[in-house]
Structure 1
Amino acid sequence: MSDTADSNGSWAEIFTPRYATVTLILCLGVALFAFNAFLASTALPTAVQHLGGLELIAWALTLYLVLAIMGGAGAALLKQRLGARTALLVAGAVFLFGTLIAANAGTMTEVLIGRSFQGLGEGVVAAICFALIPELFPARLVPKVFGMQAVVWAVAAFGGPVLAGLLTELVSWRAAFLVNVPLVLIFAAMVAVVVPGKADTTNESPGFPGIRLLTIGSGIMLVALASIAPPLQAAALLVGAAILLVGSVWLDRRSRVRLMPTGAFWPNSVIGSGLLVVLFMPVAGATSAVYLVLLTQQLWGYGPTLAGAIGAVMAVAWSLSAITVANIRQRETRKLLIRTGPALIALGLIGILIGLLTGQLIIVLLSQIAIGSGFGISNGYLNLTLMEAASDAERDRTSALLPTTQSAGNAIGAALAGVAANTAGFATAITVEQIHLAIIPVFVVGATMAGFAFLAALRMTRLMNAHATQSSFAAAQ
């Protein structure tokens, strides 16, 4: 594809009758994940007060995340065997089932069961929605689709906690969960009408990849446990998680029917190095996501609303920057954006640390803008590049793996930040000076992960240039 091959793409086109319904379906799929995350986190503390089981509240997120990653890992295979329409409808039903269990729970154990079903269903929905993007949209419109998804996340970041808070206070914490019900029903109705339903029947049934999914799930579970374990135990859990996750990739490479594309997470290909960027960026970003709101309250005495608004600046910057760069046509400029994104995240994390240590709010806000912009300018073109680099036979696996990898990165990043904070004594820090000393390694670890993402992005774009040179040479011959 030439540099100007997608020059006819416009924002208006994704809202024309041809694409508007599909755009809405994909945005609803993202909204299920985005709003559910904020609704649940806001309503669960009240649910615990009513049901008891405070010691289980962390598992409401942990089990959701583990099952979402497992569901996302198997989504491409599910789409292949059932077809996109049936797979989405089944996953939506699983999510709805989990929502109803959680909303009507009489104990925290029932809430955990419901959250597990929610995670499994949403993991499949998110992954298949990603896989449908290159299938239902031309390449010129893909950056606009990712820009719209960024807008949905920004709306959820602001509206989700407010909506959940109002429902919890004025009605019930159960109502905050039940908000998902009409969203799922609308999503399912539109999927049934619009999404293609043909399954791939050209290959023999591959069977159920239970060992690989169990290995992935166990690895993420160890990551989640590391975030709440003492430092030495956390380090051991992270090592165990790394072994399991690397082992799952190794097993997949040797399987007859794979869950992942060829070369996944191996830096010797565009797809392999690109997936490393997709993994390391949220690992880095989790540092700010986990600790910034808490730190502004501890260090500066801000209330939850003001602290939350500072945290949401990143989401707004992400959305605005994604929209701003969505019309970029030149390939070299897109490569530059992919490389610049991780660099901005690294600078932003160091900037937040400096702002917190010096008490300068303006530095924190500018750094939040830098982090959000880093994600916004690079995420869409990174995803598009990976989709285009995949062969037709592997495009579903590549596309479906993107949200799964991002979720895994968020989980790993939260765990690493927790280990760094606990090792530095953050949990027992009382004075401002003690808190300052404890957060330095947290943000240094985050910036280091962003540095790894930058190196992987350099590797990816160099491989792209090498492939382009080889293609030009072959064409000249």
Structure 2
Amino acid sequence: MHDAPEIGSTSWSELLSPRYSAATMTLCLGVALFAFNGFLVSTSLPTAVREIGGLELISWAFTLYLVLSIVGGASGALLKARLGARTALVGSALVFLAGTLIAAYASSMTEVLIGRALQGLGEGIIAATCYALIPELFPSRLVAKVFGAEAVVWAVAAFGGPLVSGLLTEHLSWRAAFLVNVPLALIFIALVFRIVPKFSGEVARLSVPFLRLAAIGCGIMLVALASIMHTLAMEVLFVVGAAVVLASVIAVDRRSRIPLFPSDAFALNSTVGIGLWIVLLMPVAQASTSVYLVMTLQDLWGYGPTKAGAFNATFAIAWSICAIFVANIQDPRRRAWLIRLGPTLLVTGLAIIVFGFSLDIPLVVMLGQIFIGTGFGVSWGFLSQTVMESARSGERDRASALLPTLQSAGYAIGAAVAGLAANAAGYPEATTPDALRDATITIFFVSTVIGVGALVAGYALPLRKQNLLAIEMQKQL
């Protein structure tokens, strides 16, 4: 256990030392299951649809995965507390594996949807539990490097996932692309048995708050459905309804005997509460680039899929490089400054994208993408660590496990809001370059405004007390 912050010299090689190498590989593989799976499926699923039919259901393959992954992530800390991390990880990996096999050998789109739902449920629990294990398996001085390593996994997945899936789908079968997950899951299970200790406590009776988990699923489903509504009024209604449902879940959870979230989740007077707002709002603001940038590059400037994809990947590259570069920083004051710099760069990058489209200059838009990726890279690891280490006594697992879940929810909400802005601006009906450019500018302007919320939260984050504690410990060392 590593409850107290540690300040001291450290190097990347320590992650690969005999003491930490297995833990590093386990957590990175947990991230890889999620990262590669998304890229593998998005590339191979269109071919699957042409073979087995069900084109009208293709969007649900992603929607169900997302909804179930968020529900699974919300239950991750509870399952870890009641069953132990090893049981939770192995059980969820088996669920993920079962979903993979069902989808890979599906003969209808309905079977693919069942498999995708099981994949989402299993991966949501895996991601949440892995995050909760980071402060247990690594000392504080290495946590930022763990997040840097995970950022590299995401970057590799962004490039390697579509390439591997494309080659397998083209030369073997779309089913082979799905089956790439099988050896990854089996290796992950073996590593969990090796590195994650047996549960030392007594396995408690598992009282699962199904009503709250179902409400979370319904809230995210409303967000997803908002994007396919045909009228602006219905889109707004669904988004507002989702906000009401999810806010009600948080309010009820605070009074529950079996809480899913930290007691100060989203409170405006605590480091954890404000930190979680940043974790939510940054992906909400950035989601518009994931949904609309590649499409706009193709439609407005005539980019091919490969060129547009490489353009979009500059975000992941910047995130990874910057996460590696800042991971050696141990000074708490500099870390606090970088946490606040992240949302600042995000807003700047989105504003640059708006400027780039208004000038009709692709390189300016790419610069905006790089700024956004840099913002995430310099701040995300330190922000996550701050939330983990600022959690109240007995709530660290719930705070840690909520991070990846909230990130996924942020992207879902952001995609819905971007879709709402796109439809209001006439993006789907745009038939001329000028109309498409104007609609795109509106989408990214709305995202910039949302990003300002993350920026304000960043400067409101109460880090002073934590910094003083870290500095005092540094003096003692």
Superposition TM-score tier, normalisation by shorter sequence: over 0.9
Residues 1:215 and 2:223 are matched in the alignment = no
Query: Which TM-score applies when normalising by structure 1?
Result: 0.95
Instruction: State the shift of 1:206 in Å.
Output: 6.2
Question: Is the contact made by 2:7 and 2:470 (CA closer than 8 Å) also made in structure 1?
Answer: no
Question: Is the contact made by 2:6 and 2:140 (CA closer than 8 Å) also made in structure 1?
Answer: no
Instruction: State the shift of 1:471 in Å.
Output: 11
Q: How does 1:300-449 map to 2 (within 5 A)?
A: 300-449=301-450
Rate the CA distance shift 1:75–1:5 in 2: closer, same or farther, 3 A: closer
Question: Is the contact made by 1:206 and 1:257 (CA closer than 8 Å) also made in structure 2?
Answer: no
Instruction: Give the corresponding residue for 2:282.
Output: 281
Instruction: Give the corresponding residue for 2:475.
Output: none
Question: Is the contact made by 1:82 and 1:199 (CA closer than 8 Å) also made in structure 2?
Answer: no
Instruction: State the shift of 1:402 in Å.
Output: 0.3
Distance in 2, Cα, partners of 1:62 & 1:394: 30
AA aligned to 1:336 is W
Query: Which TM-score applies when normalising by structure 2?
Result: 0.95
Question: Which secondary structure state, in structure 2, belongs to the residue aligned with residue 343 of structure 1?
Answer: helix
Instruction: State the shift of 1:200 in Å.
Output: 4.1
Rate the CA distance shift 1:470–1:134 in 2: closer, same or farther, 3 A: closer
Q: How many residues align?
A: 469
Question: Which secondary structure state, in structure 1, belongs to the residue aligned with residue 94 of structure 2?
Answer: helix
Question: Is the contact made by 2:332 and 2:467 (CA closer than 8 Å) also made in structure 1?
Answer: no
AA aligned to 1:464 is L
Distance in 2, Cα, partners of 1:356 & 1:43: 31
Instruction: State the shift of 1:201 in Å.
Output: 3.3
Residues 1:54 and 2:55 are matched in the alignment = yes
AA aligned to 1:185 is L
AA aligned to 1:382 is L
Instruction: State the shift of 1:465 in Å.
Output: 1.7
AA aligned to 2:220 is I
Gaps of 5+ in 1: none
Instruction: Give the corresponding residue for 1:229.
Output: 229
Rate the CA distance shift 1:426–1:199 in 2: closer, same or farther, 3 A: farther
Question: Is the contact made by 2:77 and 2:397 (CA closer than 8 Å) also made in structure 1?
Answer: yes
Instruction: Give the corresponding residue for 1:465.
Output: 464
Distance in 1, Cα, partners of 2:120 & 2:112: 12
AA aligned to 2:464 is N
AA aligned to 2:333 is E
AA aligned to 2:51 is H
Distance in 2, Cα, partners of 1:383 & 1:467: 14
Gaps of 5+ in 2: 473-477
Distance in 2, Cα, partners of 1:206 & 1:21: 30
Give me the identity figure in percent: 56
Instruction: State the shift of 1:356 in Å.
Output: 2.2
AA aligned to 1:153 is W
Instruction: Give the corresponding residue for 1:34.
Output: 35
Instruction: State the shift of 1:466 in Å.
Output: 5.4
AA aligned to 1:214 is A
Question: Is the contact made by 1:339 and 1:458 (CA closer than 8 Å) also made in structure 2?
Answer: yes
Instruction: State the shift of 1:265 in Å.
Output: 1.1
Instruction: Give the corresponding residue for 2:64.
Output: 63
Instruction: State the shift of 1:392 in Å.
Output: 4.1
Instruction: State the shift of 1:472 in Å.
Output: 11
Question: Is the contact made by 2:6 and 2:139 (CA closer than 8 Å) also made in structure 1?
Answer: no
Question: Which secondary structure state, in structure 2, belongs to the residue aligned with residue 426 of structure 1?
Answer: coil
Distance in 2, Cα, partners of 1:353 & 1:58: 28
AA aligned to 1:263 is D
Instruction: State the shift of 1:329 in Å.
Output: 1.3
Instruction: State the shift of 1:470 in Å.
Output: 10
Distance in 1, Cα, partners of 2:444 & 2:333: 31
Instruction: State the shift of 1:349 in Å.
Output: 1.1
Question: Which secondary structure state, in structure 2, belongs to the residue aligned with residue 72 of structure 1?
Answer: helix
Instruction: Give the corresponding residue for 2:80.
Output: 79
Distance in 2, Cα, partners of 1:94 & 1:110: 15
